[in-house]
Structure 1
Amino acid sequence: MSYLSAIATAVPENCFSQETLTDFYIRSTNDLMSKRKIKIVSGKTGIQTRYSVLSDFDKAYEDYTFFSKSADLLPEPTLSDRMKIYAQQATELSLKAVNGLEGIHDFKEQITHLITVTCTGLFAPGLDIELMRALSLSPTVQRSSVNFMGCNAAILALKNADVICRTFPAAKVLIVCTELCTIHFQKQYNDDYLLSNLLFADGAAAVIVSGKPDGMYQHAVQMEEFNSMVLHSGYDDMAWRLSETGFIMNLSSYVPGLIRENIRAMLLGAGLNIDQIKHWAVHPGGKRIIDDFALALNLDKCAMSDTYKILKNYGNMSSPTVLFVLKEILEKAKSEHRNEQILAAAFGPGLTIETLKMRYV
């Protein structure tokens, strides 16, 4: 079997209110219609604060250190500029998450596998090698990466770790998900991109998956079943693409509806009994996604309270975000929760839905 033993999370030091980030966006254009749209959309996000490795967002433009020192942000940072920041900051934030794992320096020599996850930057030698060096992991640790697969990539990494632990029961897998979404802020004002600039944030999460129940929670957390679905009708509604000025995000307002129309059939088709799932760790891709997910499954919004909380306090950090939610849930486990089921769900480009059913044992 495989067990989720521990989760630790981390965010950069720069914390900004949603109002501050909205004002930065508004000040980048002179178009009154765009300014009005930005303010309206921001007010509906359900977000209070977001974190960034960049410090420019609350400064006067003359004091910017990353963006151009001009009110209109032109010329925009290049892809090379953004990847330089990623290479400088991703390892640091990843280590902050890993070092948050209780007892990591006592058991790190037991780590047999390392899986890194990101969709906001790449370099080589990559994040995996940097973490091995910084943590002094064994040079024989087996490495793999889940790259450019978006907000549901953490579940894909957990799926890989599950296979490893079922194949090698003595395995101990370290997963590190790190995303620096804010370095890809774009000076665009179309309806879809308004969502991207007003939702995304930076964060990291580290997870230990083991072949035996040696976790830090009230009960061991057994990973039982993974399910996946690609909604080809949403192919163009969530996507990343490279450009000379960074990663361009397409996040259509149709995504919540696509999830609402398909999630119940997906779960039932996989043989899951929705009524038996007591704890829900849903990726907070946006407030409407959470609302529509709950509506589709007839869930009381209280069942989604941890998802709403993470969205409010951190925004959408892409891949680590569902782990922030899951951490909240697992740390509140009680003795009477034994044998209860937990479902994690996240959504990515394609449009793809990934789920993981777990159980307290």
Structure 2
Amino acid sequence: MIALTCIAFSSFWPSSRAMETIGHTALQVEKLRREQRANGPACILAVGTANPENCITQDNYTDWYFEVTKSDHLTHLKDIMKKTCEKMGVKKRYIHVTEELLRDHPELLDPATPSIDTRLQLVAAALPDLAAAAAVKAISEWGRPAGDITHLVFSTSSGAHMPGADGRVASILGLRPTVQRTAVAFQACTGGAAALRVAKDIAENNRGARVLVVCADALSVMGFHALGEEARPDGFLAHAIFGDGAGAVVVGADPVAPGERPVFEMVLTAQVTLPGTEKFISCDYGAGGLVYNLAPPDVPVFVGDNIEPCLTEALKPLGIVSGGWNSLFWVVHPGSPVILDSYEKALRLEPRKLAASHRVLSEYGNMVGPSVIFVLDEVVRGRRQEEEGEGVGRPEWGVLVGLGPGFTVEMTVLQECSNK
């Protein structure tokens, strides 16, 4: 009985040769894992942006809006819209909505008329081309063929189709059929920052990967309608500040000299979702399109109270803020002028520290997800245009920040490559 038990037990016990094979395989797997990872951190290699052709100046927006919505008789609402537009710090915006589009689709004007199908179809038709236009600029600046892109991270809060716009963008750009696509959906104002966080992980864990991040939004199509007597303040705010656009970034680790010109290393990323803030910023899709819930009086105050603790916790491992927040450069999503003011007051920032964010807000409005990529483009181009001697003394470290629904803070710590 004992002998039989020993024989049965031994039949399950690997032989010494089998153990050697298992050990060898484990070593091979670990070697493969190491070989698959990049040697260094992900870098921002190129940036591109694009907008729809239709541009409307803020000074003319109120008259245009009440004319195309056939609401000129609502003079008291027109006064509210005009005053709201004047407070936004915006000079002009680019939107897909045109008079021709509204003539062809009058159902977009009445929020009580089911129009969601029309809106989704219009976005599905317009968004890929807009996204591809930004990507073409980024790839051109990068200087390598589009076929060298290995991964595509596509972010949008506009539309809802399967297959998504990412597949169409890959086709327009002529990316390889083997390109690996990842969709980041419905992150709103943190869409661009969230997509960059995903791209960093991909680039650092796939040796030789070149990740194309594309963030595009056309919420003007999803949310445009006539404001009635029952209009809420956030309805006026949405119509007065939001624009459409697309931003693209090429991300990769271990840049190849001399062709690739890395601008910033993506040192670390962090995301914080503050409990109990689900209602602070939200959007709902219904039969009549998109409805915004922006809680404008609360958001700037909440930003001012919470942004410094979030940043302090995220940057603590690096110990790079001994000189204060002014020792950094800033790539901040321009949600609104009062939110940018909240940043400046809470962090005690010097004048012009958020100049790039203010300029993007002024020239484009809040384009939701792509906005932070537009700010990044401003910062990148500003540094590349400087003569070598003029860059001495400028901050080597910086932070890219996006704020979005939920109430979510997305952060990426950047380090200038040329100073290393």
Do these two structures clear the TM 0.5 threshold for a shared fold by scoring above it?
yes
Aligned length in residues: 355
Secondary structure (helix, strand or coil) at the match of 1:159 reads: helix
CA distance in 2, matches of 1:218, 1:106: 11
Aligned: 1:86 with 2:123: yes
CA distance in 1, matches of 2:311, 2:368: 22
User: Residue in 1 aligned with 2:250?
Assistant: 208
1:342 paired with 2:342, answer no
The residue correspondences of 1:45-194 to structure 2 (distance < 5 A) are 45-56=88-99, 64-68=102-106, 76=113, 78-101=115-138, 102=140, 106-183=144-221, 184-188=223-227, 189-194=231-236
Q: In the alignment, what sits opposite 1:261? A: 305
How far 1:338 sits from its partner (Å)?
7.9
Displacement, 1:87?
A: 1.0
**Cα deviation, residue 186, structure 1:** 3.3
Q: Which whole-Å CA distance do the structure 2 matches of 1:194 and 1:231 have between them?
A: 27
CA distance in 2, matches of 1:206, 1:153: 12
1:304 paired residue number? 354
Residues 7 and 100 (structure 1 numbering): CA distance in 2 closer, same or farther, change over 3 Å? same
CA contact (8 A) 2:203 2:253 kept: yes
Q: Note closer, same or farther for the CA distance 1:69–1:167 as it changes in structure 2 (3 Å cut).
A: closer
Quick one: which of 265, 268, 281 aligns to 1:222?
265
| Distance verdict in 2 for CA 1:77–1:105, change over 3 Å | farther
Instruction: Please state how far the C-alpha of 1:248 moved relative to its aligned partner.
Output: 1.3
Structure 2 match to 1:8: 48
Range moving further from structure 2, 107-116 or 1-10:
107-116
Distance 2:216 2:145 in 1: 22
* Equivalent-residue separation in structure 2 for 1:217 and 1:41 (angstroms): 44
Q: In 2, are the aligned partners of 1:340 and 1:360 still within 8 Å (CA)?
A: yes
Question: Residue type matched to 2:345 in 1?
Answer: L
3-state secondary structure, aligned to 2:159: coil
Question: What is the SS of the residue equivalent to 1:115?
Answer: strand
Between the aligned partners of 1:339 and 1:250, the Cα distance in structure 2 is 37
CA RMSD between the two structures: 2.4
* Structure 2, unpaired ranges of 5+: 1-40
Report matched runs for 1:233-312 at 5 Å. 233-253=276-296, 254-270=298-314, 271=316, 273=321, 274-275=324-325, 277-312=327-362
TM norm structure 1: 0.91
215-224 or 41-50, which deviates more: 215-224
Residue 323 (structure 1) aligned with residue 373 (structure 2): yes
Q: Deviations over 1:38-79 (max 9, x none)?
A: 1211110000100012222xx8xxx94355299x75775701
CA deviations 1:82-109 (Å, max 9, x no partner) are 1111011111111111111226684212
Distance 1:74 1:193, change over 3 A: closer
d(CA) in 2 for partners of 1:288, 1:77: 34
Change in Cα spacing, 1:264 to 1:78, as seen in structure 2 (3 Å) is: same
CA contact (8 A) 1:282 1:345 kept: yes
SS at match of 1:65: helix
**C-alpha contact (below 8 Å) 2:327/2:395 kept by paired residues:** no
| Structure 1 residue 233, shift from structure 2 partner | 4.0
**What percent identity do the matched residue pairs reach?**
28
Q: Assess if the C-alpha contact under 8 Å between 2:107 and 2:113 holds in 1.
A: no
SS of 1:132's equivalent? helix
Q: CA deviation at 1:2?
A: 0.5
What do residues 104-158 of structure 1 show as CA deviations (whole Å, max 9, x unaligned)? 6842121111111100112122111112222221111111100011111111111
* CA deviation after TM superposition for structure 1 residue 269, in Å: 2.2
Distance 1:255 1:354, change over 3 A: same
| Cα deviation, residue 255, structure 1 | 1.0
Larger Rg: 2
